[in-house]
């Protein structure tokens, strides 16, 4: 039967790089998806290539990044360039990235409505063995109805999707931990004779990440996630959201890390970086931006000014914008750490040049300001 809604979920294995040391953690985010850093027609927008994905993961790992986190996408936002329309599936992607790296934690991102929890638990376990104990699960309830229809998933209301996700996670966690067969009968999920061997290398389970921004989503993250994302457009908002979700987790007898997604636009000067943002906004795939807002964010109900600001963000600086010179971006990251943020999942319009510049210019500033320590060298592969 389902676990009691008030029973704490056992904490994950915390021996890996995500949970060691005082540094603010860094992840490279969404580079398995075309135009992952913004819905732009810019000639600089990223187009996925497997060998380049491996290079980016290795570059991030060598620079000391703790996590590689994919988007889970099955179709794009159409328009002229169909941003996010080309993507690598995340479990098989994670297996390949895990086999190509040696230290970075590699996440699979999974929409619960698109895959059986029995299959998901086994796939993530397999990735964990390939990675020698470096796999993580980023689980989401699903929010893009046009995608979910491809799977014949019944239309569930917002809160019902989280009810489903809780049952899905109950099954995954039991498959990772129970040695005996079990039956599970929930409102949405039923498993007869649930069984899995081998177990993940990480015991009692790999880390679970979740990005949920509604009150119901926060409730799920507080109960199940080891890493929860919050959304804010400034440091004060980040501080408030981080405190809120930590307090909610404490009410379940749990501790979690709080992360944010952030887009990086780096210039030689602050002014140059702002000019780059303006250029990316002018190059937006406007129809794709409108589709994204209408299909996934309830755009029709937004006041015009809020919609204008959101359009700018979606086009060029999704998540929290980190815009400026290297020293300015390092100061922003330091302020977020002081506000209680444990980690940042970073995107760029152009991942190859963006990551290279971040590593060469911003990482030394983070070390100089005491926000990050110099990473140990990666042994020769």
**pLDDT for residue 381:** 58
**pLDDT for residue 212:** 81
Chain-centroid distance of CA 98 in Å reads: 17
5 in a domain, yes or no? no
DSSP H helical segments within the chain, as ranges?
50-62, 90-99, 117-130, 145-148, 158-177, 215-224, 235-251, 270-282, 286-297, 304-316, 326-338, 351-357, 363-368
Predicted structure pTM score:
0.95
**pLDDT tens-place values along the chain, 381 residues long:** 444 343 557 889 999 999 998 899 999 999 999 999 999 999 999 999 999 999 999 999 999 999 999 999 999 999 999 999 999 999 999 999 999 999 999 999 999 999 999 999 999 999 999 999 999 999 999 778 888 888 887 678 889 999 999 999 999 999 999 999 999 999 999 999 999 999 999 999 999 999 988 899 999 999 999 999 999 989 999 999 999 999 999 999 999 999 999 999 999 999 999 999 999 999 999 999 999 998 887 655 667 777 888 888 998 899 999 999 999 999 999 999 999 999 999 999 999 999 999 999 999 999 999 999 999 888 765
Cα 295 to Cα 31: distance, rounded to the nearest angstrom:
22
8 in a domain, yes or no? no
Q: Which two tokens stand for residue 160?
A: 């019902």
Residue 269 vs residues 32, 324, 359: alpha-carbon distances, Å? 30, 6, 17
Question: Which phi and psi angles does 256 have, rounded to 5°?
Answer: -145, 160
Q: Which residues pair with 108 in a beta bridge?
A: 137
**pLDDT for residue 300:** 52
167 in a domain, yes or no? yes
264 in a domain, yes or no? yes
Looking at the structure of the chain, the number of domains it has is 1
Q: Which domain holds residue 217?
A: 17-368
247 in a domain, yes or no? yes
**pLDDT for residue 146:** 85
**pLDDT for residue 380:** 66
**pLDDT for residue 368:** 94
**pLDDT for residue 187:** 94
120 in a domain, yes or no? yes
263 in a domain, yes or no? yes
254 in a domain, yes or no? yes
CATH number at residue 50: 3.20.20.30
């Amino acid at each position: 039967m389902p676990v009691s809604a008030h029973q704490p979920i056992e904490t994950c294995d915390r021996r890996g790089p995500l949970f060691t040391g005082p540094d603010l953690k860094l992840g490279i985010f969404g580079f398995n998806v075309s135009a992952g850093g913004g819905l732009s027609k810019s000639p600089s927008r990223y187009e996925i290539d497997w060998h380049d994905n491996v290079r980016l993961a290795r570059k991030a790992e060598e620079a000391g990044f703790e996590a590689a986190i994919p988007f889970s996408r099955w179709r794009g936002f159409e328009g002229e360039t169909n941003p996010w329309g080309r993507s690598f599936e995340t479990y098989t992607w994670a297996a390949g990235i895990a086999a190509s790296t040696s230290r970075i934690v590699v996440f699979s991102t999974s929409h619960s409505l698109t895959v059986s929890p029995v299959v998901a638990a086994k796939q993530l376990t397999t990735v964990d063995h390939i990675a020698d104990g470096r796999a993580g699960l980023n689980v989401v309830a699903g929010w893009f109805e046009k995608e979910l229809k491809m799977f014949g998933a019944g239309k569930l209301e917002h809160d019902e999707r989280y009810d489903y996700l809780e049952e899905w996670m109950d099954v995954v966690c039991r498959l990772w931990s129970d040695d005996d067969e079990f039956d599970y009968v929930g409102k949405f999920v039923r498993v007869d004779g649930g069984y899995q061997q081998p177990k993940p290398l990480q015991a009692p389970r790999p880390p679970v990440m979740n990005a949920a921004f509604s009150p119901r989503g926060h409730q799920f993250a507080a109960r199940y996630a080891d890493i929860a994302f919050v959304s804010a457009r400034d440091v004060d908002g980040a501080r408030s959201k981080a405190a809120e979700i930590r307090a909610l987790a404490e009410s379940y007898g749990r501790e979690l890390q709080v992360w944010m997604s952030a887009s990086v636009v780096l210039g030689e000067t602050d002014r140059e970086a702002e000019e780059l943002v303006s250029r990316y906004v002018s190059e937006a795939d406007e129809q794709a931006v409108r589709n994204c807002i209408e299909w996934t964010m309830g755009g029709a109900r937004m006041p015009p000014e809020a919609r204008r600001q959101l359009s700018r963000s979606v086009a060029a600086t999704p998540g929290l914008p980190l815009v400026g010179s290297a020293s300015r971006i390092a100061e922003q990251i330091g302020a977020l750490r002081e506000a209680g943020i444990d980690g940042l999942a970073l995107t760029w319009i152009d991942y190859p040049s963006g990551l290279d510049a971040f590593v060469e210019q911003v990482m030394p500033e983070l070390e100089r300001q005491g926000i990050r320590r110099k990473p140990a060298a990666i042994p020769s592969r």
